[in-house]
Amino acid sequence: MPQESQLDQTQRLLAAVMGTSAEQSSRFDDVRKAFGDGKTDVVIELPWYEDGSTHQLILTRVTGDRVFFINPLGHGSAKAGSDLQDGGLRRRVEEDNTESAAVADVEKLFGAGKARALIPR
């Protein structure tokens, strides 16, 4: 039996604990559409570690050329406005203690088949 992915586990957890359903997508256009439809808290999984392991972020909105998200790993003592290079995505710490990344960088990961999303239904 193939090993369940981290995103599959999150999908099952949301259903079991929160009673919510979500569908997986490998297209960033589906993420944009979800936000356009008023949905929030889209989970994405992307490469993060040098060994190719993945990490999940909780996207909260797409505004202009930035994707805003909650990073469960946090950003340590980095202050608002700090640029971060660790992990698999260049990002910036925001005033509201979230992080953001360029839409183009996130889109590129989806286009290369390296990122997937879990979109609330």
Q: Where do the structural domains in the chain lie, given as residue ranges?
A: 6-120
Query: What confidence score (pLDDT) does residue 42 get?
Result: 95
Query: What confidence score (pLDDT) does residue 1 get?
Result: 46
pTM of the complete model: 0.89
Please report, in tens digits, the pLDDT of each residue of the chain (121 residues total).
Answer: 456 788 888 888 787 887 778 899 999 999 999 999 999 899 999 999 988 889 999 999 999 999 999 999 988 899 999 999 888 899 999 999 999 999 999 999 999 999 999 999 8
* C-alpha–C-alpha distance, residues 63 and 95, integer Å: 15
Structure tokens at 49: 């570690």
Strands (E), the chain: 22-25, 42-47, 54-63, 66-70, 83-84, 91-93, 99-102, 116-120
Query: What confidence score (pLDDT) does residue 8 get?
Result: 82
Query: What confidence score (pLDDT) does residue 90 get?
Result: 95
List Cα–Cα distances, 43 to 25, 78, 81, 111, in angstroms. 10, 23, 23, 17
Query: What confidence score (pLDDT) does residue 20 get?
Result: 78
Would you call 21 helix, strand, or coil by DSSP? coil
